[in-house]
């Protein structure tokens, strides 16, 4: 796991429950501290309730990442992204997991249990947990604009000066 993080909050709705349990079996023995925020059965529940709980925990603990699982990953992603400071990404491919961390500094991974199988979900999760954010100025600036669009990304480095007209 990326040394910047020490905790992973995981949550699912009923559709994602089985995949959540599979991921826990795989990641806990690897020393990943996974805190399960539910659901704990396959009884039908509303995914936004779990998405909010995991989002709140991730915002409280800057050394944490989140994993949210529903049928498609879409409902979890939509709800999580309503929370300022959360950057949730649904990933169906390893490259999406890598780039979500490296360029977008995503702090929640969303998975769709009806879209991908357990093996791919494990692989995607592994990549997401290990990949660092590339803290280059352009990525920091762009992520700042996601988090604070009204201010054009307040708190981020000033954009590079315009190139002079006679410049290449
Ligand atoms: C539940 O049937 C399903 O709608 C939910 O798991 C999720 O896919 C929503 O985005």
pLDDT for res 150: 80
pLDDT for res 42: 98
pLDDT for res 20: 98
pLDDT for res 148: 87
pLDDT for res 13: 98
**Atom number of ligand 1 nearest to Cα 72:** 8
8 has which bridge partners? Answer: 34, 65
Whether 15 is in the pocket of ligand 1, judged by its Cβ within 6 Å, is: yes
Residues classed as catalytic? 103
Is residue 16 situated within a structural domain?
yes
**Distance of alpha carbon 49 from alpha carbon 119, whole angstroms:** 27
Is residue 59 situated within a structural domain?
yes
Q: How many domains does the chain have?
A: 1
Residue 69: in which H helix or E strand, if any? Answer: strand 64-70
pLDDT by residue (tens digit) across 118-162?
999 999 999 999 999 999 999 999 999 999 888 775 554 444 445
**Cα 165 to ligand 1 centroid, rounded to whole Å:** 52
Whether 70 is in the pocket of ligand 1, judged by its Cβ within 6 Å, is: yes
pTM of the prediction? 0.90
pLDDT for res 161: 44
Is residue 131 situated within a structural domain?
yes
Task: Measure CA of the first residue to CA of the last residue in the chain; give whole Å.
Answer: 42
Residue nearest to atom 9 of ligand 1 (CA): 75
Is residue 158 situated within a structural domain?
no
CATH number of the domain to which 79 belongs: 3.40.1400.10
Residue nearest to atom 8 of ligand 1 (CA): 71
Mean pLDDT by 10 residues, the chain (168 residues): 94 98 94 95 98 98 98 98 98 98 98 98 98 96 91 53 50
For the chain, what is the mean pLDDT? Answer: 92
Distance of CA 53 to the CA centre of its chain: 14
**Distance of alpha carbon 75 from alpha carbon 77, whole angstroms:** 5
Is residue 2 situated within a structural domain?
no
**Cα 152 to ligand 1 centroid, rounded to whole Å:** 33
**Atom number of ligand 1 nearest to Cα 16:** 6
Domain with 66, as residue range(s), is: 7-148
Distance of CA 134 to the CA centre of its chain: 15
**Cα 73 to ligand 1 centroid, rounded to whole Å:** 8
**Distance of alpha carbon 147 from alpha carbon 137, whole angstroms:** 15
Q: Are strands 64-70 and 34-36 parallel, antiparallel or unpaired?
A: unpaired
Is residue 164 situated within a structural domain?
no
Is residue 163 situated within a structural domain?
no
Is residue 161 situated within a structural domain?
no
């Amino acid at each position: 796991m990326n040394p910047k993080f020490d905790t992973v909050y995981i949550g699912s709705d009923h559709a994602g429950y089985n995949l959540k349990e599979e991921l826990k079996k795989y990641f806990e023995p690897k020393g990943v501290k996974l805190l399960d925020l539910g659901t704990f059965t396959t009884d039908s529940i509303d995914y936004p309730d779990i998405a909010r709980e995991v989002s709140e925990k991730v915002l409280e603990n800057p050394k944490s990442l989140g994993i949210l699982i529903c049928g498609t990953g879409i409902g979890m992603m939509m709800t999580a992204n309503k929370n300022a400071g959360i950057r949730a990404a649904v990933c169906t491919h390893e490259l999406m997991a890598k780039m979500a961390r490296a360029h977008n500094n995503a702090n929640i991974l969303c998975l769709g249990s009806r879209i991908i199988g357990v093996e791919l979900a494990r692989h995607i999760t592994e990549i997401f947990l290990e990949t660092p954010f590339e803290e280059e100025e352009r990525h920091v600036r762009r992520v700042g604009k996601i988090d604070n669009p009204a201010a054009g990304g307040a708190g981020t480095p000033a954009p590079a000066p315009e190139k002079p007209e006679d410049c290449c």
